Structure 1
Amino acid sequence: MKNTYIRTKYLILGLLGILITSCETDFENPNEATSEQTYSSREGILAASVGLQQTYATTGLRWIVETPAITTREAGITTTFQNMIELEDGGSTLPNFNSNVQGLWATMLRLVKIAEDIQTNAPNITLDPGTESGLVAHAKLFQAMAIGSLAQNFEQVVTTTNPDNNAEFVSRLQGFQFAIDRLNEAEAILTATPVSNSFTSQVTLGNIDLLNSIRAMKARYNLFAGNYEAAISAANSVDQSSVSLFVYDSQNLNPIWGRVYLNDSPNFKPRDSFGLPESFNLDAQDGRKEFYLIPLDETNQNGLPIEDLAGFFDINTESIPLYIPDEMNLIIAEANLRKSPEDIDAAISALNEVLTDSDDPLGVNANLSPYSGPETANAVLMEIYKNRRAELFLTGMSLEDSRRFNRPQPSGQSMIYTEERNRNFYPYPDIERNSNPNTPQDPAI
């Protein structure tokens, strides 16, 4: 058993050497072939699955959370690193070589590649059915989340890697649909063949409810894709009493803690009132303010009011959830207003589940009175937007939300710090443009 652990450990370390770059601006080719040895044995492919999850939870989440947080004023920079200055300045001059833009793009495609390889190779290895189903469904989940993260931030995306560096681009809506298709496949696989105890004990360790997470992501991406009935159905299928967590330790630290607290040298801090404009009139008694924010009464170098960060991010080994349970209620509320015909009563009912929540399994409780504003679609949508900002703080969805709720367009000028967001989409990184002739023109803003 000890020798098996040691072999698996070094396979994981070898895989992470392939996946993780050595410095902030050193990004490998996302289509680079992975060692065949990784996928030639049961131990190797299980290690690949662990590495996929671990890389998403560390390097991946750093880019997913931090990058749009700065763009949409969820957070304000507290550093002189050029990549962070460029992000907060924003505008049409945001360079293609910005390391956050590069990191988000390259890391997500690297995750897509490893997920593809697991799915290709798992059927070729002798595995019990529940382990194979777990490996394939788990890979499809992370493939979907990586592509979904790209589609939230880029106008066009790559869904399938290509070893010749000429991967095709598709629209972001096609990207969401590709992710949904993978999640549907994953759900069908697990419904037919539940995961084995062996897979759970060696990969998810009981920290991730795989089927529940797949259904939660189906709800999220169907909402983003405009499939409102499907979003409602998927959200209703999620067991909100079950949580799924990325768990950290002394060797794999919470990546947001690392950006805010490590060495007492923060790169950013959260904005007052989650970065919402004063017009949203956030309730002073909203329990999510105390959960996520620590009063600071300071401004950053660009005059943006900032706080200290709490929530899931103020301890170096604190777990980060894959999703917040009340996201499902917010999806149900929004989708009921965007579908045809709209159902305002159902939307308000779902919204009230969030507002009055006092026993969230993760402790994210608004603990407020039910909604009492105008019962019109526009008014309730704005209340949903406010609650998404508070409930889903620093989950990487703020740029997607800002566009979808038609918040004010950015001017395209840089250093306009009063704008709610300073970009609509990110430019395609030069590491992609310089190697892939199919790379589209950058969005105007």
Structure 2
Amino acid sequence: MKKIQTYIVLAALALGQFACNQTFLNPSTISQSQAVSSPDGLITLSNGLQYRYTTGGALSVLYARTAGAGLTTREDFVLNVGNADEANLALGGGNVSNINSVVRNLWTQSHLVRSNAELILANTGVVSDAGTKSGIVGYASIFRALSLGTLGLFFEQSPVTTGNNVPFVPRAQVFKEAITTLESAATQVAAAPVSSDFSGKIVTGIDIPNTIQALIARYALFSGDYDKALAAAAKMDLTKKSVFNFDDNTRNPLFEYTFGNLNVFQPTNVNLGLTGSLTPDPADKRLSFLTKPSTNTAVAPVIATAFYTANNAAVPVYLPGEMLLIQAEAYARKGDLTNAIAQLNRVLTKTAAQDAFGLGAALPAYSGAQTADAVLAEIYKNRQIELAFQGFRLEDSRRFGRPGPGSANAERNRNFFPYPLTERNNNTTTPQDPAN
């Protein structure tokens, strides 16, 4: 991702207004008007979107969403309680305050990426080449959607625009806003394929057409639009990868900050914290892909491997198995158990050789009860394994109605996060914090 380093000086001006209207400008960089006045300036700013979303260790959205989801659902556990904010996430409830750094970074960094993407999208009129414009629109739309989608995973409400005292909207509308952005981008990219000029100047790794459809499918599922989720997932080429690339200078944030050491947090155990009927089959080949025995089992029984094995390890934007499980869940919720089981079986029986990332369970086909509840339970179980460390477990736990805070055998310690104090102090429309 060295190309990001070349461009981040411009992107640092990133015109970083988040929802509470705080602005960060670097006086040593060019002005906003200069940055958005040419195709190259917009491509430069586009590279800055990925830099802000993915890098910076614990500051990154990638780190915060993994920590936020994993620690609140027992997927991960804290190794050193001196990491107070992560430790409080693992405790849950009122221990998660509105000054928690993980919560704050989720909110602030996501809104900064969103607002910067909007700036780019608002200025594409300066781009005359249709293919270059498609690349810029597609890329910026992906990061606007990822940012909005991340906010919807962890907060009951969020602004979707930038300004003074901007209103909050319910999370379902946040997901729909992401989908609208992606659908507009899909039309643009279909009309004019991304140009080689854009591809040669942007950080490599993201497959724009496939990623647009993958994110439509993801957020349509989360917002309950199952037909849209199915239609988008069906357009995917699951043999192609779409990844965030890193190198030794712009580092994989999960490896750099936590999974590469025994100091912050690691997976709870080889079963990923899953118990009872959710306990993975010991023959599931995904377990050895996702974890390996720790070098110090007295501190942690296993450490995460998967996509977090080195500073330069690429992280998927989405996984093929996610798309299959989206289809399985959407069919099941529509009452079509035949197709739901067919898609579920594609995940259960998939071998490493059949997966673009080498992630395969290699298990027998589903043989459980032919009821919606049973099939959905198996889909949920497989989402927890297939999508480990991807930041979805809190959302999944709520959506599937798993035991929550205050319930017997609770599987999550919060439902949503409080709104950061930085927002509350600057936006009078900030809602009351959720009870848990």
TM-score under structure 2 length normalisation: 0.91
Q: Does 1:170 align with 2:169?
A: yes
The answer as to whether partners of 1:19 and 1:55 remain within 8 angstroms in 2 is: no
Displacement after TM superposition at 1:68 (Å): 1.3
C-alpha distance in 2 between matches for 1:299 and 1:170: 46
**Identity, % of aligned pairs?**
40
Q: Does 1:154 align with 2:155?
A: yes
C-alpha distance in 1 between matches for 2:293 and 2:132: 47
Farther off after superposition, 280-289 or 39-48: 39-48
Displacement after TM superposition at 1:144 (Å): 0.9
Q: Does 1:12 align with 2:19?
A: no
- Aligned match of 2:218: 220
- Aligned match of 2:394: 399
Displacement after TM superposition at 1:10 (Å): 5.5
Go from structure 1 to structure 2 and tell me whether the alpha carbon gap of 1:298 and 1:10 turns closer, same or farther (over 3 Å shift).
closer
Displacement after TM superposition at 1:204 (Å): 4.1
- Aligned match of 1:378: 373
C-alpha distance in 1 between matches for 2:24 and 2:134: 24
Q: Does 1:443 align with 2:434?
A: yes
Letter paired with 1:66: A
The answer as to whether partners of 1:38 and 1:44 remain within 8 angstroms in 2 is: yes
Letter paired with 1:90: G
Q: Does 1:120 align with 2:122?
A: yes
Q: Does 1:428 align with 2:428?
A: no
- Aligned match of 2:37: 40
- Aligned match of 1:286: 284
- Aligned match of 2:84: 82
Letter paired with 1:161: T
C-alpha distance in 2 between matches for 1:9 and 1:292: 30
After the TM superposition, which segments of 4 or more aligned residues of structure 1 sit over 3 Å from their partners?
8-11, 16-20, 27-31, 296-300
Deviations 1:290-344 (A, max 9, x none): 00011348476xxxx75211110011110001001111110111111112xx111
Letter paired with 1:424: N
Displacement after TM superposition at 1:11 (Å): 4.5
C-alpha distance in 2 between matches for 1:17 and 1:298: 45
Go from structure 1 to structure 2 and tell me whether the alpha carbon gap of 1:381 and 1:69 turns closer, same or farther (over 3 Å shift).
same
- Aligned match of 2:268: 271
Farther off after superposition, 42-51 or 369-378: 42-51
The answer as to whether partners of 1:403 and 1:424 remain within 8 angstroms in 2 is: yes
The answer as to whether partners of 2:20 and 2:162 remain within 8 angstroms in 1 is: no
**Aligned pairs (5 A) from 1:328-367:** 328-339=323-334, 342-358=335-351, 359-367=354-362
Go from structure 1 to structure 2 and tell me whether the alpha carbon gap of 1:121 and 1:171 turns closer, same or farther (over 3 Å shift).
same
SS at match of 1:208: coil
The answer as to whether partners of 1:156 and 1:171 remain within 8 angstroms in 2 is: yes
Displacement after TM superposition at 1:13 (Å): 2.3
**Aligned pairs (5 A) from 1:132-151:** 132-151=133-152
Displacement after TM superposition at 1:274 (Å): 1.6
C-alpha distance in 2 between matches for 1:343 and 1:360: 25
Equivalent in 101, 113, 119 of residue 111 of structure 1: 113
Letter paired with 1:408: P
Displacement after TM superposition at 1:30 (Å): 6.1
Letter paired with 1:140: S
The answer as to whether partners of 1:260 and 1:266 remain within 8 angstroms in 2 is: yes
C-alpha distance in 2 between matches for 1:328 and 1:197: 28
Give the RMSD, CA atoms, in angstroms.
Answer: 2.3
Go from structure 1 to structure 2 and tell me whether the alpha carbon gap of 1:105 and 1:30 turns closer, same or farther (over 3 Å shift).
farther
The answer as to whether partners of 1:260 and 1:269 remain within 8 angstroms in 2 is: yes
Structure 2 spans left out of the alignment, 5+ residues: 26-30
Deviations 1:340-359 (A, max 9, x none): xx111110000000000011
Equivalent in 303, 306, 324 of residue 308 of structure 1: 303
Deviations 1:37-71 (A, max 9, x none): 32223332111001112221222211122211111
The answer as to whether partners of 1:158 and 1:170 remain within 8 angstroms in 2 is: yes
Go from structure 1 to structure 2 and tell me whether the alpha carbon gap of 1:370 and 1:71 turns closer, same or farther (over 3 Å shift).
same
Deviations 1:350-383 (A, max 9, x none): 0000000011010010111000111111111110
TM-score under structure 1 length normalisation: 0.89
Go from structure 1 to structure 2 and tell me whether the alpha carbon gap of 1:13 and 1:266 turns closer, same or farther (over 3 Å shift).
farther
The answer as to whether partners of 2:14 and 2:116 remain within 8 angstroms in 1 is: no
SS at match of 2:302: strand
Structure 1 spans left out of the alignment, 5+ residues: 21-26
- Aligned match of 2:65: 64
Go from structure 1 to structure 2 and tell me whether the alpha carbon gap of 1:90 and 1:137 turns closer, same or farther (over 3 Å shift).
same
The answer as to whether partners of 1:30 and 1:110 remain within 8 angstroms in 2 is: no
